[in-house]
Amino acid sequence: MQTPPPAGGAVTPPVSNSGEGEDDIITTLLREKGIKDSSKIKFEGDNGNTEERDWKDLSREEQLNILRQSTVPSNNQEPDNDLSDEEIEFLNMLRINNLTPQEYLSQLHTE
């Protein structure tokens, strides 16, 4: 007798451990975000103290929030989305006026 599929009809394929030296996709994504050891993810608590937590101990929501965060470039600069309000306003002005940064600078030089 076959067991019916889980609710929603999704069937989970078996996990293969054939590539022992290879990282799984989650470990790879965490490394791209600067997290080298998934058992030591640093969090800042409500009280301002930093604590380390294991990936496996995080809630699904906390894990998704980490994976959704912008990737930190390899040269350890700030994340891609770390723009000031003035920078965002400037970029929006360029978009609204359909200008490239070079076109904007050219307009400044002619004024």
Q: What is the pLDDT of residues 32-50, one digit of tens each?
A: 888 888 888 887 777 878 8
First to last CA, the chain: 82
Average pLDDT over residues 62-86: 68
d(C-alpha 108, C-alpha 97), whole Å: 14
Nearest CA among 45, 29, 32 for reference residue 79 = 32
**Domains in the chain: boundaries:** 24-74, 81-111
* pTM of the predicted structure, to 2 decimals: 0.42
Both tokens of 95, joined, read 């978009």
Q: How far is CA 14 from CA 8, 17, 18, 41, 73, in A?
A: 18, 10, 12, 28, 34
